[in-house]
Chain A
Amino acid sequence: GQQLNQSPQSMFIQEGEDVSMNCTSSSIFNTWLWYKQDPGEGPVLLIALYKAGELTSNGRLTAQFGITRKDSFLNISASIPSDVGIYFCAGQPGEYGNKLVFGAGTILRVKS
């Protein structure tokens, strides 16, 4: 079935640093979604992307829908402690109405 490769698997952040993560696929996607999940909670939608090349911001977060429709990235600028958590990408494969596919997540931790 469809798979999304999300990287990195985990990373440590220091307050004030910029953070970048991405998702790639061998197939074309119609939609890219980015979620954040805190421990023991449900994922919260951060950004939704519907068009190839689209660049969308939500506060300090910026995400882009790759031109090839096979990838997407999420950037967090000037990270703060509450940014820690798990970030998931999700995509809807090329055919309309296909099920969402989820990446395995990127764990953001604070550097001590």
Chain B
Amino acid sequence: DGGITQSPKYLFRKEGQNVTLSCEQNLNHDAMYWYRQDPGQGLRLIYYSQIVNDFQKGDIAEGYSVSREKKESFPLTVTSAQKNPTAFYLCASSIQGFAGTQYFGPGTRLTVL
């Protein structure tokens, strides 16, 4: 079955630690995205990548980093510089850049203690 997987589903980390969230897709999509969701708010774009080895900052990139070494994978690192990292993180992909309809993974809930 084609789809987007995110792991882990729940993640707990101590304040000051970096943590990496995994996102993998087998849809053969060129573009991948990371969003952050906070209660009662719409999705906010962190980073996006329209092609392998290239990525751009979204609206709230500070304190986050990404890499895109393979078409299928787009991991997100939440660094200690992110002031309020506790949130629900969603990965998405589309056939091509923003012109394409985006499909979402199941999400990772990160809690920083």
Contact = CB atoms under 8 A, between A and B. Distances in A.
Given A104-B40, A104-B41, A97 B59 contact: no
Contact residues of B: prevailing secondary structure = loop
A42 interface: yes
Given A42-B105, A99-B58, A104 B42 contact: yes
Interface in B55-111: 58-59, 88, 90, 97-99, 101-107, 109
B48 to A, nearest CB: 7
B1 to A, nearest CB: 14
A99 B98 contact: yes
Interface of A: 1, 4, 31, 33, 35, 40-45, 48, 88, 90, 92, 96-100, 102-105
Contacts, number: 54
Interface of B: 4, 6, 40-43, 45, 48, 58-59, 88, 90, 97-99, 101-107, 109
A100 B42 contact: no
B59 A88 contact: no
A33 B101 contact: yes
14 contacts: A31-B99, A31-B101, A35-B104, A40-B88, A40-B107, A40-B109, A43-B104, A48-B101, A99-B58, A99-B98, A102-B42, A104-B42, A105-B40, A105-B42
Contacts of A103: 42
Given A1-B59, A88-B43, A102-B43, A42 B104 contact: yes
A60 B92 CA distance: 26
Given A40-B109, A42-B90, A104-B42, A98 B101 contact: no
A88 B42 contact: yes
A1 B1 CA distance: 37
